[in-house]
Amino acid sequence: MNNKPARRSCFLIVVITIFLQAATAAASTYCGDRFAGETVRWIVPSSPGGGYDAYSRLIAPFYEKYTGAQVVVENRPGAGGSIGAQKIVHAVPDGRTIGILNGPGLIMAAMFETPPPPNPATAFTLLGRVVKDRQLWAVAADSKLPGLRALLENGQGRPIVFGTRGPGNLSFVDMVVASRILNVDIDIVTGFRGSRDDILAVLRGDVDAVAHSDGSLLDAFESGELRPWLQVTEGPIGDDARYDNVPWLAGPDGLAVWVASRTGGNVARASDEADALVELTGAGRLIAAPPGLDAALTQCMRDAVHAALTDPGFVAAAAKAGRTLDVARGEDIAGKLRSIEPEAAAFVPALKRAAAEYGK
């Protein structure tokens, strides 16, 4: 196996990190001198070299800049991120242990698994969001399927067949819940090994569609292999022409409200469910600390994280490393996840029925 690309990626991150540490050596800090000379463990719930690790090593020198602490990145992979999450949630709440989480993955695992892993909506002190995931449905560029709105207007002749790895992953949640909100008749083929595997199944004609993040689908869009079919968002993803005339799910102009209005459904209910799905699947990569921090410590750490994530030097470094950003403050994310938790929990019965049907 050729590890040269991975080594080059790791080397680039190390070089950038050393440069940033030198460039940010002197700065005013939040939290006063509380962390001066202290070591802060930054837990990464995955192996070195992946996306969570890359973001963490890019952020670390800027968090040092705004706290005066020395950050040590500690990789704790395993159990779908649950091992790293447990390390954070059970740490002493003194600000000396923080880390990065897979928000949507842990939220869904907390609903499905027994015993459940810590739920980001309730179990942590959330300090900020690095990037928000944006989910899409996609079909082959030469698919005979019309646009989704046109298909719903004219009726379906047969179920839309989706491909995915299996129950419990975010793509499965997307296709099951969004199709229920929109009254789209679907079938699901499971057992694919990852995003490229099920994309190839679409190109072969084995399935009609896939559901993934925009990042996972970008190469297939740019190559002209796939076209977006539904934006599982509250509005247009961007001004890219490829998203022109592609409907989005949530919000007053979203497809959920349109379908409910057209079919005599409960518009408010459809809107709430669509909003909850968008927030759940888009929860993103979260920076978190243990529960139980005192109010003053929580506030200064949230301020320091936000300052680090919006520092022009960090923004430039993330862009240079090819990492997108969609930053939000910890208190805003915590409030939003708590507010959608009842709606998200209401998805579980449908997801469990789908898991029983398609997980065989």
Residue 111 shares a structural domain with residue 140: no
In a domain, 358, yes or no: no
In a domain, 299, yes or no: yes
SS3 97: strand
Residue 147 shares a structural domain with residue 180: yes
Residue 75 shares a structural domain with residue 121: yes
pTM of the predicted protein model: 0.77
Mean pLDDT of 74-103: 93
Residue that is last in its domain, among 215, 245, 280: 280
Angle, to 10 degrees, between the axis of helix 195-204 and the axis of helix 214-222?
40
Residue 258 shares a structural domain with residue 317: no
Q: Given this model, what pLDDT does residue 170 score?
A: 83
Residue 160 shares a structural domain with residue 268: yes
Mean pLDDT of 11-35: 60
In a domain, 58, yes or no: yes
Domain holding 241: CATH number?
3.40.190.10
Domain holding 18: CATH number?
3.40.190.150
pLDDT-derived band of residue 70, with 50, 70 and 90 as boundaries? very high
pLDDT in tens, 292-327: 999 999 999 999 999 999 999 999 999 999 888 999
For 214, which DSSP code? H
> Cβ-count burial of 356 within 10 angstroms (0-12 exposed, 13-18 middle, 19+ buried)?
exposed
The C-alpha atoms of residue 51 and residue 320 are separated, in whole angstroms, by: 14
Percent of the chain predicted with pLDDT > 90 = 62
Q: Which residues pair with 39 in a beta bridge?
A: 70
In a domain, 345, yes or no: no
Alpha carbon separation from 355 to 49, 172, 359 (Å, rounded) = 32, 9, 5
The C-alpha atoms of residue 36 and residue 28 are separated, in whole angstroms, by: 11
Residue 84, H or E segment: helix 82-89
pLDDT in tens, 233-258: 999 987 778 898 999 999 999 999 99
- Domains in the chain, number: 2
